[in-house]
Structure 1
Amino acid sequence: MAMRRLYGGAGGTRPSKPGRITLKGQTPLKRKTPWTGGVRKPLKPPLRRPKDVLPFGKLPPRPRYGSRAVDSEGDIDMTTPPKPQAEPVDAEEAEAIAEQNFRTSQPYLAKDDHVAEELEGLFDDVADFAENTFGFKVPKGEKKEEWATLKEQMSPELVKIAGYIAVGGKEGEKGWRELFMKTEWRVQLVIGIVGKVIKEEIFGHLMFGGTDEQIKFLHQLQVDMINDDGFDRHRLRAHYIEYFLLSTGNNFPENYLNAVLKTLTELWTLLTPIYCINKTFKAGQTPPVPGALDNIITRAARLSLFMRLQPGTIYHFTPSFKGERFTDASMVPINEPYMVQHNPKRVQYDPENGVGEEEMRQRWKECALSRIVGWDACVAYRKGGWRKGEEKMGWRMRQLVKAQVSLWWGTERKVFGKDSKEGYVELRDVVPVQAV
């Protein structure tokens, strides 16, 4: 099934000049530092560690980093790369040279594979949940009535999230009604809503399940090290998160269960108005929370903690946007059969049946656009270049999973503009709810 396809990849860039590396991998401009008196010493405010915030007593010592490059799991082999071969070599010898010259067999690659497999499995779980729970059909004659009822029951949060990840299309309110009432689009919309909540509330959390004091401490650590290297800041944060987990005795945060229950309840409350469209559900009753959704939240929470504990790797979810052109390098279509079936460029020139030059010209202007963002791509950032001996040069990036998007054929909205006659409207302009 096309919905289950999730491909990974590898890629990276190496800057031409080494320098101070920020979280984004760019070399910032030199900062102007104020000077005092005639000594001309730069002002360096001391880092203030909020030790009084934590009830644990003495904090673990801050790791020390020497001048030697250190990778995720230990020291890096600093051997000099071999000189280029003057004569052609066979495949086995070329592979051996590449193994010596490039850092392609590091232990952390297995952890990347684990993260990629977990993300793939998590997406499959979300897809199964959406298909089994929201894959019901609404009779054609009742869609307008159900749509009117749904608009009254939508929460401001649901309108905000659905409007952020999806686009109604060129037919105004009719396009939004199609997304919620048509089975295939509704399932893909639920995938996007669940994926957005998981990304923001679980993967975007500094330490999912941590206490208020721990989260406050980690946030203050971010503020104190705002001018430091992003990789050093991440490494120190992982150091403290590991300490917090070990202090509980079971390797889980103190508020882990409460955080899972809170996220589960909020997410199901968000989806309940869509679920109540189902005619098999009796009106006036509160739908029970599906066990599959509980498993999804728990699995995502465990993976989030695992990713936060990796000191030498920054896992980042690259955002995708609705209405964006499809790119095979970073996206995977959820509804590939639909795109093949409705490809406007498959229609042949036939003036007798109304397919003339103007119609063909309009059809060839259409391109594959993302209608629903289901799952953002995930990449891993590490300090240093790909080759041995380049451990202090820039950063490298490895793509773990591609973005999962639902596509449709159309013309980019920027071609027409916000006030065009094509009928593009936002969901907040269709559903009468208070602003979030």
Structure 2
Amino acid sequence: MVRAALGAGTAFRRSVFDLFPRRLPEGRRYGVVAGVGRALDAIEAFRFDQAELDFLHEHQIIDDRLGQWLADYRFGGDIWGYPEGEIYFPGSPLMIVEGTFAECVVLETVLLSIYNYDSAVASAASRMVAMAQGRPCIEMGSRRTNEESAVAAARAAYVAGFGSTSNLEAGRRYGVPTAGTAAHSFTLLHDSEEHAFRAQLDTLGDDTTLLVDTYDVEEAVRTGVRLTEGRLGAVRLDSGDLPEMSRMVRQLLDSLGATETRIIVTSDLDEWQLAALAGAPVDGYGVGTSLVTGSGHPTSGFVYKLVSRADSDAEDAAMVPVAKKSKNKATVGGRKFALRRLDDKDIAEAEVIGVGTPPKGDHNDRPLLVPMVTKGEIVGRTTLAEARERHAQSFAELPLAARKMSRGEALIRTIYLDEDD
């Protein structure tokens, strides 16, 4: 596209792109924005080195003119967007990218790949945290996705409220708290379960978590309590009827005097199973496969569309809205502005999107778009702690139906207002 636009003389027309969801995944009531920080890092680092340019030349993807432009590529435009951790709904303008057509369009794939995956994980994580009802959740899905998406998933889950991850690279790269337990192979390595437990306790101390379902759960619990004289930190259950098993283990621990020993459960959990475990004596969850695959929705379905462009190549050319009219895939043209309309009790009741002009809010309505890049400079970075807090606050604004597992439509409606409204 850039090569053809250069030939046509339209590559450097001022343009505005929107990154947004047409709809929520089927049955979902809301989504969570994640990946913003990773996307800003990607924009800042987006460059073409000589090896990449040589490949593009050799395969006749670019010509000399485009190669010279790519060699000097630096995004120099402006970006606004929903901050990380924010809740979103159908049509939410999650990222607005303005610059020349050429510099904006080459970012399409990298932005969508980050936002689509990270937001899918965060949206699933948010539902799981809600169903956990205050019990801590550990992200444990690294073995169920590729090595780089595993790091991104740990980060996204933390934004949406997970307490820690078993992915050490996420801890190193992003500061996500790390936690983990031993695998069955560790127990099987040793001559007896007691030998394995002794080795783990000698190395990690009494506060460690022992995996107790390799052989006989009751015997393993008794062994762990005996070896620690009742000071065992936690036991992990990874199989069987988890609600019934956790009740049996709790009764056993209490009868042995280990009343402070926690029970952690794993085993292909999802938000539905977490809801089913609400009444069980469980102290924490480890969630893997379902989390890193978006709990059935591994992508958020975001798109990146041109919504406004200059009507000529002149520097002072007027901007005109543009939109595709394809059946079932129509877009709304024009520059967008967004706010969350809240009722008198500060509960969200609508996503209001102004087209061409900002919508007017009242005393408690909340603007949603913040500056992220200004004239090519990153200005919108936030910490993961800030993103976590933002998500918690945004979730608290949602109607009570957000805390239910029932399928349904978006929790609040999306309203478009143009300059005449």
TM-score bucket (shorter structure): under 0.3
Structure ranking higher on relative contact order (CA contacts 8 Å, 6+ apart): 1
Compare the two structures and name the one with the higher helix fraction.
Answer: 1
The normalised TM-score by structure 2 is 0.23
Bigger proportion of residues as strand: 2
TM-score, reference length from structure 1 = 0.23
